[in-house]
């Protein structure tokens, strides 16, 4: 028997830690795919100071801090892609998707960079 990660794990998790209030649409992140109409993300977890270790070519490692947005893959009719944009209402900033990292269980980590005005 396989686990429905989206239904049993991701949906409750996003309900607890998610950005904004689903009943207040303007508080939800607004996602705009390149060349397409944008939409609200009712389930997304934003972290402005996500830390990760990046391995360098010489074998050394560097710790970096970057904003990320965790989302459920099922919210997207078309897969998220580099260059898409997302507005985070809680801080009023717009970010560009720099990298898309699916986990294979229905969750996607979007690595973000602050978009130029």
Q: Report which of 47, 41, 23 is spatially closest to residue 87, judged by C-alpha positions.
A: 41
Structural domains counted in the chain: 1
State pLDDT tens for residues 33-59.
999 999 999 888 899 988 888 888 898
Strands (E), 1-117: 30-32, 39-40, 44-55, 61-72, 85-88, 93-102, 107-114
Q: Which residue range forms the structural domain that includes residue 39?
A: 5-114
- Give the pLDDT of residue 89: 92
* Residue 106 backbone class (left: φ over 0; alpha: ψ -120 to 50; beta: rest): left
Mean pLDDT of the chain: 87
- Residue 43, pLDDT score: 81
Give the DSSP H or E segment for 102: strand 93-102
Give the tokens for residue 52.
């990760």
Per-residue pLDDT, 117: 63
């Amino acid at each position: 028997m396989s686990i429905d990660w989206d239904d049993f794990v991701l949906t409750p998790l996003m309900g607890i830690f998610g950005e904004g209030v689903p009943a207040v649409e303007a508080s939800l992140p607004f996602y705009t795919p390149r060349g397409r109409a944008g939409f609200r993300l009712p389930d997304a977890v934003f972290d402005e100071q996500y830390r990760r270790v990046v391995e360098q070519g010489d074998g050394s490692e560097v710790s970096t801090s970057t904003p990320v947005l965790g989302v459920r893959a099922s919210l997207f009719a078309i897969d998220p892609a580099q260059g898409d944009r997302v507005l985070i209402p809680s801080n009023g900033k717009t970010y560009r998707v720099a990298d898309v990292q699916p986990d294979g269980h229905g969750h996607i980590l979007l690595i973000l960079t602050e978009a130029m005005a």
